[in-house]
Structure 1
Amino acid sequence: MFPHLKLPRCFSFTASIDWFYRHSFAIAGLRSVITDIGDGDGTSMHCWVPKIHKPFKPSLLLIHGFGANAMWQYGEHLRHFTSRFNVYVPDLVFFGNSSTSSLERTESFQAACVIKLMQAHGVGKTSIVGISYGGFVGYNMAVQCPEMVERLVLCCAGVCLEEKDMEDGLFIVSDLEEASSILLPQTPHKLKELLRYSFFKPTKGVPSFFLTDFINVMCTNYVEEKREMIQEILTDRKLSNLPKITQPTLIIWGEQDQIFPLELGYRLKRHIGKQGQLVIIQKAGHAVNLEKPKEFAKHLKSFLCDSLWSPPSSPTWKDHIHFHIKNKVN
């Protein structure tokens, strides 16, 4: 019907969606920047930063988890915050356009990199939202640089897991090799498995060519480095070694999370204590930010936006009386 409109043989649905997200981030007032933050270790980080940093606005840092790049995980939520915050959305090292020649693979190293990135952009204080692995990084930032982190949101982040949890059968997988094959899918079958574990109601009937396209665009870079990161998450991990944090913290969890079971959410709430509050979203899995975006955004806004400082109120009659009394005394 339209002979002049032909899809190129190399057309990629995933790349097209990625382009759409890039366009939407630019429209939202952000720009794409790569910053060299290494101390001789060749570390550079990509980040979406405000085109114009407005000093009167607080800052908000959105940290992604494993999976697609940061745009895919926060694209649905960006519009809720750009009017209230200077928003920063980085790609963690070995994701998107961030890389390093360092052999470090810990979330502590990732946190140190993000701290340097924010300092390079002149950000002294910020609130943080961390999804899954991003929550591990955000928690470590709160430990390493408490004066920088004002408020913290941890979404389905199994920060309180222990190495023995896998042996005790808390997870759906029995060993790290199986976990890596699912979290870093290299075949359509493994990607379907990841979707089944990540969503309470996963989309059915996704064509294999689309899954293959997604893997080719999103899942083939730094696979070995990411496997080593997964290994580091569990190795010798004990709750007794996890430092306490004092920042106000919102913990959000999908009731049916199969990647990091809800028990870890309760455990995290107990560990943080009175500074933490736990919100459980019903009929949602690990990808609660994608599966229940409206409910997820509602809790974020309630915790982050409603707590902002209100502008100074107009002087009252008491203020005027106090002013005149003070002047007479002086």
Structure 2
Amino acid sequence: MGISFLPVMEYLARRAFLAAGLCSQTATLPCEAGGTRTIHYWAPPGEPRLPPLLLVHGFGPMATWQWRRQVVPFSRRYHVVVPDLLCFGGSSPCPSSPPPSESAQAAALAALLDALPGLVKTTRVTVVGTSYGGFVAYALARAAGPGRVGPVVISNSDLLKTVEDDRALLQRAGGELASTADLLMPLDSRTARRLMELTFYRRQVTAMLPDFLIGEIVQKLFIDKREDKIELMKAVTVGTDEFQVIPLEQDVLLIWGDHDQIFPLDKAFAVKRCLGENVRLEIFKETGHVPQMEDPNRFNEVVFDFLLASLKSPNQHDQY
């Protein structure tokens, strides 16, 4: 079978985070209903000397893989914090609590920010979220308000997702799977390969991966905490009356890959209309569901440009 590819990817991801000055840390935080929750995160040690920036991952690979190409350039200008959401990586919800919704994930991140050294409650945080992490980023920005959360970047995240959208996704996946959980948490190489084809625009990379390596990816990425993550999908409130999308007071940047097959491009325009006037939409050509991975240089440039423009916006307070 040859040498495993996954340890190499893990090494490269961790090395990027360490090169950015981030270290692995864990916070134990109280729950509202009693008990504690654990949040694992990466951040520089000590109090911030730069404006804080929160990177919120989506489903799929661990946060270190999803943000590997962002942490070094972003850390030159920001105090970067990269948490594992509840039920992912080293983070766990309160044992007695129901599976966390997007609002519960956002509340956990708000509690983490309040607990970090030097991040007093008057410190404004820039938030960047991708896919499911975009749901959480929106919920956090809305709940915390512009006094706590500054500019918001939401990448390839359909805040208006419906049951009909889920059915359409299953049809694009071949029409053989019973639920989106079967697609997003695959148990076999064939389904995992199809998920990768839907996620990435450059399919030739996926086509070159042998079945044994796809099998390793399934074991590493989708077996860990599988039941918890399936329950997490059931707890998603996007598309229900609990998750009404209204305009944010903050400046918002929407990023979307023009070949996204998880959340197709037409949803980007619908989301933009719902979020109001303070929204800028950037469409990435020849890119799928994860532009921060497929076109990282442009992703980073567009985010930096947006954040610089936001500093000059009358809609924003002082950043730090």
> 2:178 & 2:25 partners in 1: Cα distance?
35
Q: Give 5+ residue unaligned stretches, structure 1.
A: 1-6, 310-330
Conserved 8 A contact 2:99-2:235: no
Indicate if the aligned counterparts of 1:254 and 1:285 stay in contact, CA closer than 8 A.
yes
Bigger drift between 232-241 and 108-117 goes to 232-241
CA deviation after TM superposition for structure 1 residue 16, in Å: 3.2
Amino acid at match of 2:98: L
Q: How do 1:30-69 and structure 2 match up within 5 A?
A: 30-39=22-31, 40-55=34-49, 57-69=50-62
**RMSD between superposed Cα atoms in Å:** 2.5
The corresponding residue for 2:144 is: 145
Rg comparison, structure with higher value: 1
Identify which of 229, 247, 252 aligns with 1:249: 252
The answer as to 2:83 corresponding to 1:90 is yes
What SS does structure 1 have at the residue aligned with 2:235? helix
Matches of 1:93 and 1:180, distance apart in 2? 17
Deviation sequence 1:267-299 (CA, Å, 0-9, x none): 111011111111111111112211111221111
Give the letter for the 2:294 counterpart: E
2:236 aligned residue (206, 230, 233): 233
Residues 1:176 and 1:151: Cα distance change in structure 2 (over 3 Å): farther
- Please give the per-residue CA displacement for 1:236-267, whole angstroms capped at 9, x wherever unaligned: 62598324311100000011111011122111
Residue 20 of structure 2: which of 28, 33, 39 is its match?
28
The CA deviation string for residues 130-154 of structure 1, in whole angstroms up to 9 with x for no partner, is 0100000000001111121100000
1:179-194 equivalences in 2 (<5 Å): 179-194=180-195
Q: Quote the sequence identity (%).
A: 31
Partners of 1:26 and 1:60 lie apart in 2 by: 17
Matches within 5 A, 1:268-279: 268-279=271-282
Q: Does residue 209 of the first structure (1) align with residue 202 of the second (2)?
A: no
Task: Give the AA of the match of 1:80.
Answer: P
Matching residue of 2:102: 107
Measure, in 2, the Cα distance between the counterparts of 1:19 and 1:250: 31
Q: For residues 259 and 159 of structure 1, do their structure 2 counterparts lie closer, same or farther at Cα, with a shift above 3 Å needed?
A: same
Distance 1:116 1:149, change over 3 A: same
Total equivalences in the alignment: 300
Is there any run of 5+ residues in structure 2 with no aligned partner, and where? 313-320
Q: Does 1:298 pair with 2:301?
A: yes
Distance 1:52 1:169 in 2: 44
CA drift of 1:28 comes to: 1.4
How does the TM-score come out when normalised to structure 2? 0.86
Once residues 139 and 5 of structure 2 are traced to their aligned partners in structure 1, the CA distance between those partners, rounded to angstroms, is: 35
SS in 2 for 1:80: helix
